[in-house]
Amino acid sequence: MPPNQLASVIEKLRKGVNGPINAADETSESTAARNFLFEATVAAKAHRPDRGVEAILDAESDTGILINGKRIWVECKRVTTADKIERNARKASSQLDGLLARKVGSGHRGIVVMDVSKILNRGNNIFVARNDNDLSASVDRQMNQFIEQYSQVWERIYERRHRKIIGTIIRFSFMATSEERNLLVHASQWGMNPRLGIAAGDEQIQRQLASALARAP
């Protein structure tokens, strides 16, 4: 992309290099750096112009996604413990609520994105799997179980939020090893959880976004 369109990402990366090297060393006063990096990560992950999905780099929210003529405003939260899921979902959806209330027309939507890596792996431990297939299956299973266990939390909050908030994306990442190959790898997964009761068109938007995310590196 042209350099003049990268100003917001450059600023996020500039702020992102100031935090502790190890995530396990973060404190409540030193989370800002990785928070900014997470916002940049979401933008980079979503930017798939060959699939009709582009990041909005000058978004009024943490980041944004342009897809099928719709502007998806995104608020990103890194959640450190399970008991903070509700508070973060409430804050993110409230921010989207205010933004969407200011937007005129049908071309705007909102999505909450939460990174839950620290909930699933508090101590930066290395996850061990027998082989690559087991590792992949385990990562998928953890995502499904997390959404099944906690989706009711954000769904309950969304009942009072703007109808254009259409869903939640969950992301986690951790280091893992495949014993069969004795190889240390970085494992990550992104999961899409559409809001209950949304229109078919909003479901299709998320299907296209999920397809783009699944094919992204």
Say what the pTM is: 0.88
Distance CA 31, CA 28 (A): 6
Taking alpha carbons only, the member of 128, 113, 120, 122 closest to residue 23 is: 122
Per-residue pLDDT tens digits for 26-59: 666 557 778 888 998 999 899 999 888 999 988 9
Per-residue model confidence as pLDDT tens digits over 74-107: 999 999 999 999 999 999 999 999 999 999 899 9
In terms of Cα–Cα distance, which of 95, 62, 66, 55 is closest to 76? 62
Number of H helices, E strands in the chain: 6, 7
Nearest Cα residue to 167 out of 213, 209, 139: 209
CA 44 – CA 217 distance, rounded (Å): 10
CA–CA gap between residue 54 and residue 125 (Å, rounded): 34
Give 154-200 pLDDT, tens digit per residue: 999 999 999 999 999 999 998 898 888 888 888 889 999 999 999 99
